Amino acid sequence: MSQAHKLAGLMVIAFFLAYLGNSATPARSLVAQTGGFGDDVGNLSGFAWGSDTVLDSGTKGGMGWLSFSCTNLGTCNATPYGVNLESNGSLSGYAWSSNLGWLSMCDGVVTGSCGSPPASGTAGVSVLLSEANITAPHTSQTGKPVVGFGRFCSVFESGCSGALRSDSARGGWDGWVSFSGQNHGVVLKQNDGTDGSGEPRDTFHGYAWGGGDVIGYLSMSGNGYGVIKGTQPLQILSCAPSQSNALVNVTDILWSFYVSGGGGSYNIFWEEWRDSTPVSGTIPDQKTYTQTGNYTRKLTVSSGGESHSLDCGGGVLVQEGLPYFTINAHPTSVELPGGLGDTDPVVVLTVVPWKGSAEEYYKEDVTITATLWQGSKEIKDGVTWDITPNPVKNIDDPQSTYDEKVLLVMTKSGTPLDAGKLYTIKVRAIGADTVESKVDVTIGVEGTSSGFEEI
C-alpha cells in the first residue's frame, strides 16, 4: 500500500512540473519552499484559487491553486499537510501553493506565530464562531466571519518565522494574506450541504487579499472548487502502464495512477487480465512479464469508507523476437486550472528503441501524431499541435533518446475546454513495417480561469 500511495504522489509532482503554461504566475521570483512543517492533515480540504481575473479587479497578482489538504491530491503518505479548524475557531497548519510554497495560518489569532502584520491587523487566522453571521463582500453568501492574517513562509530565510529574506529577494512583498478588510472578507457557512463521505460540511466563501502585485484576491469558492470543513469525494483520475510495449522477461513495467480526495490514506487493489483471461495471485505495481500476450488492468481504491474502480487506459503488449520501440509520456496526467483558451499543456515524450532476439535495436525513423478526445468524441476545433522534433531520427542509439527529448505542446483557440471535464491526448508513434507505439495523456480541467461564478 505505501508504495502505491507514493506513486500517486509522484504523479502529482509530475503534474506541477509539467504545468509550465499556468496563467496564474506570481509577479515576484520567490522560490517556493519544499518539505513540510509538521504532519497534521487537518480537517479542511479543497482548493482556493487566485488569478488576476478574480473579480476582474485589474490587479497584477495571481498565484494559481492553493491546496488546504494533502488529501486533495493523494500526497499524504509522502508529504502530510493541511489546515485544521479548532473547536475555538482558530485555524492552524499550512496550505500549499506550487508557486509560492507554504501558507501558514499562524496558529490562530491567539498565538499569532508569524510576526506583526500590517497596520492594526492580528496575526493568525480564526473563525469567530460566537459572532452573528455576516455577508462576505462581493458575494451573497453569509456565514461566521473569518478574521486575521496568514503568511507565506517563503518570505523567511528558513522555516516559517524569524528573519526575513532580503527586500530585493522578496521584491518588497511581506507575504501576508488578509482574511478580512475594507474591500474583502471570508465567511464560514455552516451546514452547507454534505461532504464526500456524506457528512454535513461547512464551506468557506468570499475573498482573502494578498497584495495587488503578487496574489491579489484569493477566492475561497467557485465553479467546481472550494475550501470546506470535511472531505472531498474520492476520485481515480487516471491509471496507465509506463509503456505500451514490452519484451518478455526483459522490460520492467510500472503501472502508475492519479488519485484525489478521500481520507488521504488509500487501500490499493489491482486486477489484471492476459488476453482477457484473469491473472491469479497478488498483482504488484511493477513487474516484468514472463509470458507474451496483451495485458490489461483495473484499479480499485478505497479510502474513508468509499471505494472506486477504474479500467486503466491502454494496456501492455508483451512480445518476443523483432526489435521495436516504445513512446513514453511525462507526465501521463495533467490537471489544469480553467478553460484551455489561454494555457498550453506541455508533455515531454521519449521514443525508446528495444532489442529483438538478434540483440539489435530498432533503427527506423518514427513519426509522432496527437489527437484530443473527450470520451469517444474527437475535439478538432481550434486545436493545434507543436511536436518537436518530428519525425524522430536515429533512434537505434538508446542513449540519444534521453539526450534529445520530444516536446509536445497543444494550443486550444476559440471555445475553451469545459471546466470539470476529463480529456485525453492520444499520442501515436508510427515507424516502418507498421511498427507503432501509443500512449494516452489525461487532462483534467478544474474550475475556470477566465471568469468567476459563485456556488
- Do the Cβ atoms of 319 and 247 come closer than 8 Å? yes
- The pLDDT tens digits for 211-220 are 867 788 899 9
The DSSP symbol for 235 reads E
Is the per-residue pLDDT at 430 higher than 50?
yes
Task: Say how far apart CA 191 and CA 144 lie, in whole Å.
Answer: 12
Is the per-residue pLDDT at 341 higher than 60?
no
Model confidence band, residue 295 (pLDDT cutoffs 50, 70, 90): very high
Model confidence band, residue 284 (pLDDT cutoffs 50, 70, 90): very high
Model confidence band, residue 246 (pLDDT cutoffs 50, 70, 90): confident
Cα dihedral: 182, 186, 188, 194 (round 10)? 150
Is the per-residue pLDDT at 448 higher than 80?
no
Report how far Cα 242 is from the mean position of its chain's Cα atoms: 19
Instruction: Tell me the CATH number for domain 321-455.
Output: 2.60.40.10
Q: What is the pLDDT of residue 57?
A: 52
What's the whole-model pTM score? Answer: 0.54
- The pLDDT tens digits for 142-158 are 999 999 999 999 999 88
Percent of the chain with pLDDT over 70: 77
Is the per-residue pLDDT at 35 higher than 60?
no
Beta strands in 286-345 (DSSP E): 286-288, 293-303, 306-311, 316-319, 324-330, 333-337
- Do the Cβ atoms of 300 and 308 come closer than 8 Å? yes
Task: Say how far apart CA 186 and CA 184 lie, in whole Å.
Answer: 7
Looking from the CA of 21 toward its CB, the CA atoms found within 13 Å total: 20
Handedness of CA 424, 425, 426, 427 (dihedral sign): negative
Query: Within the chain, which residue ranges are assigned CATH 2.60.40.10?
Result: 233-320, 321-455
Q: What is the pLDDT of residue 386?
A: 92
Average pLDDT over residues 223-245: 84
Contacts of 236 (CB under 8 A, 6+ apart): 257, 258, 259, 299, 301, 308, 309, 310
Looking from the CA of 368 toward its CB, the CA atoms found within 13 Å total: 30
Range scoring the smallest mean pLDDT among 74-78, 190-194, 348-352 = 74-78
The more confident residue out of 104 and 212 is 104
Average pLDDT over residues 117-132: 86
- The pLDDT tens digits for 352-393 are 887 665 567 777 888 999 999 988 889 998 899 999 999 888
Model confidence band, residue 276 (pLDDT cutoffs 50, 70, 90): very high
Q: Which three cell numbers stand for residue 373?
A: 478526445
Q: What is the pLDDT of residue 314?
A: 78
Q: What is the pLDDT of residue 398?
A: 66
Q: What is the pLDDT of residue 297?
A: 97
Q: What mean pLDDT value characterizes the chain?
A: 78
Amino acid identity, position 280: S
Query: In DSSP terms, which residues pair with 245 in a beta bridge?
Result: 317
Task: Say how far apart CA 178 and CA 169 lie, in whole Å.
Answer: 22
Is the per-residue pLDDT at 141 higher than 50?
yes
Instruction: Tell me the CATH number for domain 233-320.
Output: 2.60.40.10
Q: 320 in helix, strand or coil?
A: coil
Q: What is the pLDDT of residue 262?
A: 72
